[in-house]
């Protein structure tokens, strides 16, 4: 579809949606009051994940308008193109085949064969580490793994390892270092013995500043601890598509796990970038994660659009972004072990959808992706939920609840889930001025006092949310949840008509970072702005 055709379909669809919104001013309370089957009708389930999207400003006709637009832009064909490996990353002329990373059964394609070989390499390596056959330079078994990577080479495995804590092996500890701030690496290795620590240098490009600097420091640390150069291979492996650069760094060819240009960094935890997951939790756990994601891939490929979980989530997000002025979306996993999930989502969504042009390079005449933020529930309730409830912005929320308790403290789990449900209910219901006044009078306040205080107690309500329930926080369901959001982001990219698979916006900062570093201790070029010049003087 050309940019003109897309922009015209988009303009028409948004015009219809806007007039629909103006004509039918409904409240969420009314929508529920007029339909006692609403929760049943506006819900869907797949791959062990239940989605309740009834607490949204949606009626059947709203959804139909959104689905019409999805059909108009050939969404089913676009999904098919993604999954079949067409070069949909049109600015880099590549497919985006993260779904091939979780194929099941016998390999059928060249990509799947490469993935199968890589899985075997990961399995064998994990086995060598766990069995103690892999030894450090003093002959001791490896007990500590440090993953050095950033962005997609960090956030996914970091989040999954934490989420799957009950699967973690007792005799191995896995750590993550991302920040170029030396405190990250030095705080991590301070407690580790070099002789039985192994580093994974995870970098698709093997040129990322932060990762290279941390890897060089780690190398120095191992050498300073007495490791001969000839034994460095016992302490370093790499995951990269840049084999030459990894070898130049000193990593033995047989210790380099492949990455491919057809896998985007933020979609890569299913590749050897997930090695820390296999090492921390066992190779079979990593496989179970893949099967869960594959179940979601199958659903995404085959379910009708109106029952398709990723599509529904994307349509809803699109609706609030384009027609309700929602500049952000909050992600609230009510699970301590999913604390890192919003950070993973941020890169996934914002690096994918933070674009200013259509696939064909025309400047967007409508909003692109929005801000994604959040934290683990219930902690957020005691910090930023105030703004969700009474602030002036509409901020759609995704609540994620886990049905099965994640600890033996079952009573606390009941409280956790009650908190989760009550937050979406409070967002929906709110409290009117009349209700606030009445409540105050019932509490013994005079009419005058109640009049004065009531406006402060008003909670507008009518604020939308989705609730996702996953059966258990196990590898399979986690895999399905992550794939659900990956496909949601892709679908949202289709609805926006942008390429969600490049990220050239980050390049300018990288380039300028190198120039600034070069200018340290020298006179800054005169054509630099005075703020940059002054900051350089003050800091160095
Ligand atoms: O600069 C952004 C980015 O390229 C991300 O897209 C990527 O996940 C991250 O940096 C790390 O890149 P690499 O794996 O090549 O080190």
Q: Identify whether residues 111 and 66 lie together within a single domain.
A: no
pLDDT in tens, 121-164: 999 999 999 999 999 999 999 999 999 999 999 999 999 999 99
Q: Choose the final residue of a domain: 252, 287, 322.
A: 287
Q: What pLDDT, on a 0 to 100 scale, did the predictor assign at position 504?
A: 95
Q: Are 69 and 487 in contact (CB under 8 A)?
A: no
pLDDT at 248 over 90: yes
Separation of 217 CA from ligand 1 center, angstroms? 19
Mean pLDDT of 276-297: 98
CA distance 498 to 364: 9
For strands 197-202 and 236-240, give the pairing: parallel
pLDDT digits (tens, 9 = 90+) for 15-34: 899 899 888 888 999 999 99
Q: Which residues have a catalytic role annotated?
A: 351, 382, 510
Examine the domain organization and report whether 104 and 76 are in the same domain: no
What would the DSSP string read from start to end of 520-536? TTSPPPTTS-HHHHHHH
Domain co-membership, 281 together with 414: no
Tell me which H or E stretch contains 470.
Answer: strand 465-470
What is the rounded average pLDDT for all residues in the chain? 97
**Ligand 1: which residues within 6 Å by Cβ?**
150-153, 203-205, 208, 211, 265-266, 351, 503, 506
Containing structural domain, residue 409: 27-86+303-429+464-496
319 Cα: distance to centroid of ligand 1 (angstroms) = 30
Is residue 258 domain-shared with residue 137, that is, in the same domain?
Answer: yes
Per-residue model confidence as pLDDT tens digits over 434-486 = 999 999 999 999 999 999 999 999 999 999 999 999 999 999 999 999 999 99
When pLDDT is averaged across residues 369-397 and rounded to a whole number, the result is 97
- In ligand 1, which atom is closest to the CA atom of 149? 16
Taking residues 405-413, report their average pLDDT: 96
Residue 351, in any domain of the structure: yes
Share of the chain above pLDDT 90, in %: 95
Counting from 1 in the atom list of ligand 1, the atom nearest the Cα of 153 is: 14
With b meaning 16 or more CB within 10 Å and e meaning fewer, what string describes 279-313? bbbbbebbbbbbebbbbbbbbbbebebeebbbbbb
Pick from 426, 434, 440, 436: nearest CA to 389: 426
Note the pLDDT tens digit of each residue in 49-83. 999 999 999 999 999 999 999 999 999 999 999 99
Whether 510 and 393 map to the same domain: the answer is: no
Using DSSP's 3-state secondary structure scheme, residue 12 falls into helix
Region 267-288: what's the mean pLDDT? 98
Looking at the fold, whether 406 and 262 belong to one and the same domain comes out as no
Q: How many structural domains are present in the chain?
A: 3
Taking CA atoms only, the protein residue closest to ligand 1 atom 3 is 151
CATH number, domain containing residue 204: 3.40.50.10490
Alpha-carbon distance of 362 to 426, in angstroms, equals: 41
* Residue 510 alpha carbon, nearest atom of ligand 1: 1
């Amino acid at each position: 579809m050309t940019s003109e055709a897309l922009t015209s379909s988009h303009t028409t669809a948004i015009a219809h949606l806007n007039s629909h919104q103006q004509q039918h001013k409904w409240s969420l309370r009314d929508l529920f009051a007029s339909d006692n089957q609403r929760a049943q009708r506006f819900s869907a389930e797949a791959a062990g994940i239940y989605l309740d999207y009834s607490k949204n400003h949606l009626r059947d006709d709203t959804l139909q308008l959104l689905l019409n637009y999805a059909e108009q832009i050939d969404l089913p064909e676009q999904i098919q193109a993604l999954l079949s490996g067409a070069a949909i990353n049109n600015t880099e002329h590549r497919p985006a085949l993260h779904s091939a990373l979780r194929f099941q059964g016998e390999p059928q394609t060249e990509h799947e064969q490469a993935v199968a070989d890589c899985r075997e390499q990961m399995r064998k390596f994990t086995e060598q580490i766990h069995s103690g056959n892999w030894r450090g330079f003093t002959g001791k078994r490896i007990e500590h793994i440090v993953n050095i990577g950033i962005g997609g080479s960090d956030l996914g495995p970091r989040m999954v390892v934490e989420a799957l804590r009950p699967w973690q092996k007792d005799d191995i500890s896995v750590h993550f270092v991302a920040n170029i701030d030396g405190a990250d690496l030095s705080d991590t290795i301070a407690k580790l013995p070099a002789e039985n620590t192994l580093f994974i240098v995870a970098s698709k490009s093997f040129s990322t500043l932060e990762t290279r600097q941390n890897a060089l420091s780690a190398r120095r640390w191992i050498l300073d601890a007495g490791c001969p150069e000839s034994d460095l291979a016992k302490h370093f492996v790499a995951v990269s598509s840049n084999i030459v650069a990894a070898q130049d760094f000193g990593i033995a060819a047989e210790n380099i796990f492949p990455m491919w240009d057809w896998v985007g960094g933020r979609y890569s935890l299913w590749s050897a970038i997930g090695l820390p997951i296999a090492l921390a939790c066992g190779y079979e756990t990593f496989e179970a994660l893949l099967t869960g994601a594959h179940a979601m891939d199958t659903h995404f490929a085959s379910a009708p659009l109106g029952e398709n979980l990723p599509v529904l989530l994307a349509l809803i997000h699109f609706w609030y972004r384009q027609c309700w002025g929602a500049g952000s979306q909050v992600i609230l996993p009510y699970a301590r072990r999913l604390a890192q999930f919003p950070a993973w989502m941020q890169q996934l969504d914002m690096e994918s959808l933070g674009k200013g042009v259509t696939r064909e390079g025309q400047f967007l005449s409508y909003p692109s992706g929005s801000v994604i933020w959040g934290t683990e529930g219930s902690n957020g309730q005691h910090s930023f939920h105030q703004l969700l409830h009474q602030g002036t912005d509409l901020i759609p929320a995704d609540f994620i609840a886990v049905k099965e308790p994640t600890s033996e403290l079952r009573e606390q789990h009941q409280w956790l889930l009650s908190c989760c449900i009550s937050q979406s209910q409070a967002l929906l219901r709110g409290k009117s001025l009349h209700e606030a006044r009445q409540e105050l009078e019932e509490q013994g306040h005079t009419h005058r006092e109640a009049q004065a205080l009531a406006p402060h107690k008003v909670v507008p309500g009518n604020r939308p949310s989705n609730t996702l329930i996953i059966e258990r926080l196990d590898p399979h369901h986690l895999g399905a949840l992550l794939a659900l959001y990956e496909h949601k982001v892709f679908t949202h990219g289709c609805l926006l008509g942008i390429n969600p698979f490049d990220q050239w916006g980050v390049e300018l900062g990288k380039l300028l970072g190198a120039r600034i570093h070069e200018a340290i201790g020298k006179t800054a070029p005169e054509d630099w702005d005075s703020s940059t010049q002054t900051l350089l003087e003050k800091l160095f």
